[in-house]
Amino acid sequence: MSKTVNLSIRMDQDLKNEADQMFKELGLGLTTAITMFVRQSVRERKIPFEISLRENDHELERLRLDAIKAVAEIRQEAQENGLDKITLDELNDEIRAMRAERKAREDCA
C-alpha cells in the first residue's frame, strides 16, 4: 500500500459546504471524492469530464462582432452618401415626405 500524504487546497466556503452535502448524500466524503477525481484523471490521462466554454458564449461573441461590423458599414455608407450629418428631425421629415408621396400615388390609383 502506498504512503498517503496530506493535501491542502483553498476553496470558497459555500462551495465546500455544498460539495460536502452532495457527497454525503452519495455516501462519500470530500476527500474520497477528490481522490476519485484524481484517480480517474490519472487512469484516463485527461480531465474525466468535458471542459468547455458554453456554446452561447461563442455565439454571443460572433453576434457582437457582426453587430460592430454592421454599424461600421452603415456609418461608411452614410458618409459616402452624405448622410452622416443629417439630424433625426431631418430624417423624420424625409420619411414623412416619402410617406405622403406614396399615399398620394395610392390615392390616385
Is the confidence at residue 88, as pLDDT, over 90? no
CA distance 22 to 20: 6
pLDDT tens readout for residues 69-80: 998 988 888 888
Look up the pTM and report it: 0.47
pLDDT tens readout for residues 25-68: 999 999 999 999 999 999 999 999 877 666 667 778 888 899 99
How many Cα atoms within 13 Å fall on the side-chain side of residue 98?
Answer: 6
Query: In this predicted structure, what is the pLDDT of residue 55?
Result: 66
| Of 68, 70, 2, the residue nearest 35 (C-alpha) | 2
Q: What percent of the chain has pLDDT over 70?
A: 94
The chain-wide mean pLDDT, for the chain, equals 88
